Amino acid sequence: MKELLERIAVCVEQGKVDAASPYPSHLSGQEGADELTQKALENGIPPNQILTDALIIGMERIGIKFRENQVFLPEVLMAAKAMTAAMNHLKPFFTSGVVKPKGLVLMGTVAGDLHDIGKKIVSMFFEGGGWEVIDLGVDVGAEKYLQAIEKHKPNAVGLSALLTTTMVSMEEITKQITSAYPQVKVLIGGAPVTPEFADKIGAHCYSPDPQGALDYLNSQLTLD
């Protein structure tokens, strides 16, 4: 089981999407993140464990290499592609079994920021926890958030930022939402975000991981 999870982590780290994918050349012809994730599920490994002990590990490794200039954007994009292929198998498990949603959450990555893997994972956790999610996508500015809140009347809005530069957008969007719609809870997250920053900008909840945010939603907002 450990060996299979490690193989998936390697596929994500090295951008090996599936058996047909020719990249990277030294893994040519071998199974990729796609097939191995399916195999892990068939072997009874819980989806949560595949996510945390394989997919996130693989992304962390490529993230460190990227930071240390050992790899560049194309390699990171291939890793993201492999992660997405694997996540497609996990999504049904996170989103199934819920009849009536507890409420609605709008999710988006803030203006100027195109990172969406973390946001998608958080969305899956919310859906799996019984909340309906509308994903507004990436590079979402205040106006789009406000229009979507007006239209969909959500209980909460989730903002993701992965760049220190886009934390400025996060602050601006949070302030506009909390002033126009004080009843809507604002949840923020992403690697550079901190609890202190959340306090400073007036967000209702910061969590470094999806589960903490889901716990917050359930404790604050669950409708009877």
Q: Is 106 in the site for ligand B12 (CB under 6 A)?
A: no
Nearest Cα to 123, choosing from 161, 94, 98?
94
**Angle between the 73-95 and 2-14 helix axes, to the nearest 10 degrees?**
130
Conformation bin of residue 202: beta by default, left when phi > 0, alpha when psi is -120 to 50: left
Element (H, E) at 131: none
Between 45 and 213, CB nearer to ligand B12: 213
Per rule CB under 6 A, is residue 67 in the interface with ligand B12? yes
Judge contact between 176 and 150, C-beta under 8 A. Answer: no
63: contact with ligand B12 by CB under 6 A:
yes
Which residues have C-beta within 8 Å of that of residue 64, sequence separation ≥ 6?
Answer: none
Q: Is 192 in the site for ligand B12 (CB under 6 A)?
A: yes
User: Which range in 34-42, 146-154, 175-183, 207-215 contacts ligand B12 by CB under 6 A?
Assistant: 207-215
Stretch that binds ligand B12, among 17-25, 29-37, 57-65, 140-148 (CB under 6 A): 57-65
Q: Is 189 in the site for ligand B12 (CB under 6 A)?
A: yes
CA angle 88-90-93, nearest 5°?
125
Query: CB–CB of 13/62 below 8 Å?
Result: yes
Q: Which of 99, 98, 101 is nearest to 222 (CA)?
A: 101
Residue 29 Cβ, how far from ligand B12 at the closest point, in Å?
26
Q: Work out the number of other CB atoms within 10 angstroms of the CB of residue 180.
A: 13
| Distance of alpha carbon 41 from the chain centroid | 20
Look at the block and give the residue holding tokens 């789009």.
144
* Residue 202 interacts with ligand B12 (CB under 6 A): yes or no: no
Q: How far is the CB of 217 from ligand B12 (least distance, A)?
A: 9
Question: Is 124 among the residues that bind ligand B12 (CB under 6 A)?
Answer: no
Should residue 178 be labelled a site residue for ligand B12 when binding is judged by CB under 6 A? no
Residue among 21 and 160 whose Cβ is closer to ligand B12? 160
191 near ligand B12 (CB under 6 A): yes
Which of the ranges 17-25, 42-50, 88-96, 152-160 carries the binding residues for ligand B12, by CB under 6 A?
Answer: 152-160
d(Cα 47, Cα 120) in Å, to the nearest integer?
15
* 13 near ligand B12, rule: CB under 6 A: no
Residue closer to ligand B12, measured from CB, 100 or 200: 200
Residues that bind ligand B12 (CB under 6 A): 56, 59-60, 62-63, 66-67, 73, 76-77, 80, 112-119, 121-122, 158-160, 162-165, 187-192, 207, 209-210, 213
